[in-house]
Amino acid sequence: MVQASPAWEHLQAALTAGQGAKDLVQQILTFSRPTLPTRQPLRLPLLIQETLRLLRATLPSTIDIRPTLIPTSGTVLANPTQLQQVLMNLGSNAAHAMRTTGGVLEVHLDEVNLPSNSGVASPPLQPGPYLRLTVRDTGSGMPPEVTARIFEPFFTTKGPGEGTGMGLAVVHGIVTSHGGTITVASAVGQGTTVTIYLPRIADEPLLEGPTAEPLLCGKERILFVDDEEVLAYLYQELLASLGYAVTVYTRSPDALAALRAAPHDFDLIITDQNMPSMSGDLLLRQLRRLRPDIPVILCTGYRSLIDTERTEALGIDAFLMKPVTAEDLARTIRQVLARRSAPQG
């Protein structure tokens, strides 16, 4: 594949999504027992550009993304996956605020030197050099009583099934754990501006990551079920770029109805376990009545589900532990389909 082609860029974005999406699950699973993530000297412009490409693939065309990034911005000591999760959460929230009318999502990155009386709070910052990341939308905005609570765990203004209330709490936790702070300014009808300050460090040689192995491809038809809409469609982009025909549902009953209507239109089912309307294992019991022979991969964040007895009872071909990487997903799909197609006996 030509690296300059749109298909190559699409694939690279999908691969980054597979790696970056790990943090969504990992942050929630470890929210009550935080650990110190691996950090490295990091320049933010490239990471922001990559993340905005992922967001562009998931946002409606009525939302215009306008980045203004100073390419010579200094270095921060940070975990790139966590900072990507911060951007994805802020971008998704901004998109939700503009979902009915469309609008503009502005992302700015610059350098500032804060004096001792800067007034930046929550938590207060020491004077010195910082990178300032500003995410501004032209959406519906929020009244003061909502703005005051947005970083509280499980607080959400979204309807049932649209949000958990964990996203901004995780964002706040990530920023403060990096020694930074976050502020929000909003008014009804005037949009929202989120500003993040991260301590700038002396420039150091950046770490080079290992060269990724090519992902395994295929042409089979996959039914993919996950109630997290952003993740579901990012993985749809990933699998489609690998050659698969992918049908995505974010509600278990809808996936069940699709298989009932055309039980032989799919070669493989990949489903999340923890979903509000119908859990993954309950969905599988229903699916097995329609297609006892179809291979199934179950994604879960709980190791207690992975045992021989449960696997046999549910007829599961493979488990994938969350957070799921693109490499694990691509490899497991080929392994499961190969076992199913291998001669028996």
Looking at residue 207, its pLDDT comes to 44
Widest pairwise Cα distance in the chain: 76
Which domains does the chain possess? 36-199 (3.30.565.10), 221-341 (3.40.50.2300)
Band the pLDDT of 145: cuts 50, 70, 90.
confident
- Rounded-to-integer distance, Cα 181 and Cα 65, Å: 24
| Half-sphere exposure at residue 280, Cβ-oriented, CA atoms within 13 angstroms | 26
**Does residue 128 carry a pLDDT above 60?**
yes
Pairing of strands 103-114, 128-137: antiparallel
- Rounded-to-integer distance, Cα 23 and Cα 84, Å: 9
**Does residue 32 carry a pLDDT above 50?**
no
**pTM (2 decimals)?**
0.52
- Rounded-to-integer distance, Cα 170 and Cα 167, Å: 5
pLDDT in tens, 279-324: 777 888 888 889 989 999 988 765 555 555 666 666 788 888 766 7
